[in-house]
Structures are given as C-alpha cells and as structure tokens.
C-alpha cells in the first residue's frame, strides 16, 4: 500500500524513500520533489519522525503507506502539514493515526477532513479492527477532531516527557 489520498480540499501524498530523503535534506529539495510551495516550519514535529519513517520503509517495503503523508492544500498548492500511521497494523488489527496542520490553516475543518481520510483508508483493509490515537491529557483542538471522528477516550497514561496523555480508540463497526 502506497497510494496518495484525496479529499475535497487536500491531497495526502504518500511518502516514499525519495520524498523522505528530500524532506530531510531541506524545504527547497522537498518543494522540487512535491511540486508545491513548502513554507518554513511546515512541521512542528521536526525531522526526527521523518527519519524514523525513512528507516522503517528502508527496512521493509511492506511499511510503505503505513507511515507519513505530506498534506497539500490543493487550492494553495502548499504543504500545510503531515499525517499518517505509526506503522502497519498490529496482529490484533490495531493501527495508530497522527496528524498536524500548520497553524494558519487550523480551525477550518482540515484536520477533521484528513483524519477521516486516514480512518477510511485504514478501514479499507479488512484486517484493521480499530484505530488509536494519543493526545495531550487536556481538551485541545486534537481532542475535538478525534471526538468529531467518533473516537472514544479509553485511557489516561503518564508519559515522562509529556505528562498526562489520553489514549483514544475507534472500533470498526
């Protein structure tokens, strides 16, 4: 699985080794590869998750499509975020999603749009039974997105670096 995903306003470009290497090399190189505007600080997560995804897909071609997607705002032809899964589904059929949207594009329903697309894509695989996500342990924009997407908060965890973390789950119906 390594296909691009599309919504009304967004194009989610599935990463591959070449795109991830370009992103790590720099915004100019990534812009050339994607054919879109790549603004400074397009990701708040930094390069470490991109390097991690690159290492995973280099270790196994089966990982393609289960990591990073570059989020393009179609009408602006601009990279506005990053989303994806934290690897292939587990043996129990669980996959985790994550996402980020550049601050000036927030509060427009775009995160909900891309989360729903990740959900639909994951559930298109019959072996995926549930989807999980983690947020900071307080009400925030991401908790609102997950609630709109019918996730249920199922657990509160203590994280050394982040403090309280909420675990969310969406079960296949």
- Cα separation, 152 vs 132, in Å, equals 9
CATH assignment at residue 136: 3.40.630.30
Place of tokens 């915004």: 27
Q: Which residues contact 169 (CB under 8 A, 6 or more apart)?
A: 130, 131, 132, 151, 152, 154
As to burial, measured by CB atoms within 10 angstroms (0-12 exposed, 13-18 middle, 19+ buried), residue 119 is: buried
Count Cα neighbours of 1 within 13 Å in the Cβ-side half-sphere.
Answer: 17
Count Cα neighbours of 90 within 13 Å in the Cβ-side half-sphere.
Answer: 9
Q: How many domains does the chain have?
A: 1
Domain range for 85: 5-171
pLDDT tens for the chain, residues 1 to 173: 679 999 999 999 999 999 999 999 999 999 999 999 999 999 998 999 999 999 999 999 888 889 999 999 999 999 999 999 999 999 999 999 999 999 999 999 999 999 999 999 999 999 999 999 999 999 999 999 999 999 999 999 998 988 999 999 999 98
Residue 1: per-residue pLDDT: 62
């Amino acid at each position: 699985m390594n296909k691009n995903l599309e919504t009304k306003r967004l194009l989610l470009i599935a990463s591959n080794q070449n795109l991830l290497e370009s992103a790590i090399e720099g915004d100019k190189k990534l812009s050339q590869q994607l054919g879109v505007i790549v603004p400074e600080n397009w990701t708040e997560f930094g390069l470490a998750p991109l390097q991690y995804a690159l290492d995973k897909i280099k270790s196994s071609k089966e990982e393609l499509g289960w990591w990073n997607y570059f989020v393009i705002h179609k009408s602006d032809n601009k990279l506005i975020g990053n989303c994806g899964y934290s690897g292939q589904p587990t043996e129990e059929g669980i996959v985790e999603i994550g996402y980020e949207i550049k601050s000036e594009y927030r509060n427009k329903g775009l995160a909900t749009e891309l989360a729903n697309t990740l959900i639909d894509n994951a559930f298109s695989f019959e072996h995926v039974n549930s989807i999980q996500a983690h947020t900071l342990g307080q009400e925030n924009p991401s908790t609102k997105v997950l609630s709109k997407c019918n996730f249920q908060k199922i657990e509160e965890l203590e994280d050394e670096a982040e403090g309280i973390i909420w675990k969310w789950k969406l079960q296949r119906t």
